[in-house]
């Protein structure tokens, strides 16, 4: 689909510098732009590329003043915030390319399932008994929706996602390929001989509105009650959320984060990649956890934490400086020890 500079400026409430009739049909990074493509410039670090780009249109901040001559084929659309405006265009592009309502064959929909209007259901998808699917939901091929599952309007489930029985997904959620929602939590009880018996996991998972869950992440059902992912949470690929965990509104987890059972994360918590959080603890609202950190105990006051076990970031930096000096310190100790022994012998 093509867009003219005039149309783009209209969507973004921007100003045009150049040809308002020039059209684009593709998106590209500014350094990789080709004729017919749209790019953006927000970071001054990349300004050099705008003088060489072959893109037809570039979105820039209104404060941008060229220091060199721009390509004659380039039209600028000037906006208040180039980065957020480009993101808005990506969202428009995504909506235009959203799957159109239809039910592909072969697929299975239970007679007792309640299906809203505007459903796209891909081939080999399965919708179980008493499931409730809202309006304008997109369910891609090979998705499994078990019995009694609820999915809110406008949500998207990408290929190979699975939602186990009784789980609930809110409105406008995005569930990426391979996500598993509602598999059994890791619950086992050893007997007197150390043999593990499985503890039945009879709870569910509740995913509230506007949540996005990255590919191949898993969210376990609660032993009893619910594992809860609150409104606006963003979860990256390959994350593990254990049973009875609760993640507060608008928190974000990067790839390979692991959260053990019954941990409670507050609102606006940010967790870096490969961080681990122990079970049965609380993380205060607004806490930031640096990548590869380990959290063994509750965090009562918002802070930025790093290390394993994690400590406040500034303390970690000081400790790490000392750690790097250890070889020098050890050499000094050995030298002092040698001198003390020499002095002792003389006495």
pLDDT in tens, the chain (347 residues): 789 999 999 999 999 999 999 999 988 999 999 999 999 999 999 999 999 999 999 999 999 999 999 999 999 999 999 999 988 888 887 777 778 899 999 999 999 999 999 999 999 999 999 999 999 999 999 999 999 999 999 999 999 999 999 999 999 999 999 999 999 999 999 999 999 999 999 999 999 999 999 999 999 999 999 999 999 999 999 999 999 999 999 999 999 999 999 999 999 999 999 999 999 999 999 999 999 999 999 999 999 999 999 989 888 888 888 888 888 888 888 888 888 888 887 66
- The residue annotated as part of the active site, out of 49, 158, 176, 243, is 243
Strand partners for 132: 114, 150
Say how far apart CA 51 and CA 16 lie, in whole Å.
Answer: 18
Question: What is the maximum span of the chain, computed from C-alpha positions, in angstroms?
Answer: 99
What are 186-193's contacts with CB under 8 Å, separation 24+?
A: 186/220, 186/242, 186/243, 186/261, 187/223, 187/243, 187/261
- CA 181-234-176 angle, to 5 degrees, is 50
Please return the burial class of 111, using the count of CB atoms within 10 Å of its CB with bins 0-12, 13-18 and 19+: exposed
Say how far apart CA 217 and CA 230 lie, in whole Å.
Answer: 16
Residue with the two structure tokens 């018996």 = 197
In the chain, count H helices and then E strands: 4, 40
Catalytic status, residue 49: no
Residue 339 belongs to what H/E stretch? Answer: helix 326-346
Strand partners for 169: 151, 207
Say how far apart CA 169 and CA 151 lie, in whole Å.
Answer: 5
**Does domain 102-315 correspond to CATH entry 3.30.360.10?**
no
Say how far apart CA 291 and CA 306 lie, in whole Å.
Answer: 8
Domain boundaries, the chain: 3-96, 102-315, 319-346
3-state secondary structure 266-291: CCCCEECCCCEECCCCEECCCCEECC
Instruction: Assign domain 3-96 one CATH number from 3.40.1390.10, 3.90.1300.10, 3.30.465.10, 3.40.50.300.
Output: 3.40.1390.10
pTM: 0.83
Say how far apart CA 293 and CA 274 lie, in whole Å.
Answer: 7
């Amino acid at each position: 689909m093509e867009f003219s500079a005039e149309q783009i400026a209209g969507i973004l409430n921007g100003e045009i510098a150049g040809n308002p009739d020039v059209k684009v049909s593709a998106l590209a990074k500014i350094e990789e732009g080709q004729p017919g493509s749209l790019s953006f410039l927000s970071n001054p670090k990349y300004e050099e590329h705008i003088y060489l780009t072959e893109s037809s249109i570039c979105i820039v901040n209104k404060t941008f003043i060229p220091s060199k001559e721009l390509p004659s084929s380039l039209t600028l659309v000037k906006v208040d915030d180039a980065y957020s405006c480009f993101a808005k265009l990506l969202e428009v592009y995504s909506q235009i390319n959203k799957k159109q309502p239809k039910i592909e064959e072969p697929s299975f929909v239970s007679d007792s399932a309640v299906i809203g209007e505007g459903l796209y259901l891909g081939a080999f998808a399965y919708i179980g008994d008493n499931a409730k699917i809202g309006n304008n939901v997109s369910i891609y091929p090979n998705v499994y929706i078990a019995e009694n599952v609820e999915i809110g309007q406008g949500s998207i489930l990408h290929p190979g996602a699975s939602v186990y029985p009784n789980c609930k997904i809110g409105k406008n959620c995005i569930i990426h390929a391979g996500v598993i929602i509602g598999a059994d939590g890791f619950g086992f009880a050893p007997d007197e001989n150390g043999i593990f018996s499985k503890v039945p996991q009879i709870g569910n998972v509740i995913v509230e509105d506007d949540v996005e869950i990255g590919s191949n992440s898993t969210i376990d059902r609660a032993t009893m009650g619910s594992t809860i992912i609150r409104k606006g949470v963003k979860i990256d690929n390959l994350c593990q959320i254990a049973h009875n965990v609760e993640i507060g509104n608008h928190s974000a987890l990067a790839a390979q984060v692991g959260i053990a059972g019954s941990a409670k994360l507050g609102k606006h918590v940010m967790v870096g990649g490969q961080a681990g959080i122990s079970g049965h603890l609380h993380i205060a609202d607004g806490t930031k956890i640096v990548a590869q950190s380990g959290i063994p105990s509750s965090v009562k006051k918002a802070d930025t934490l790093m290390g394993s076990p994690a400590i406040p970031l500034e303390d970690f930096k000081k400790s790490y400086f000392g750690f790097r000096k250890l070889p020098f310190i050890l050499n000094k100790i050995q030298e002092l020890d040698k001198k003390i022994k020499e002095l002792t012998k003389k006495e």
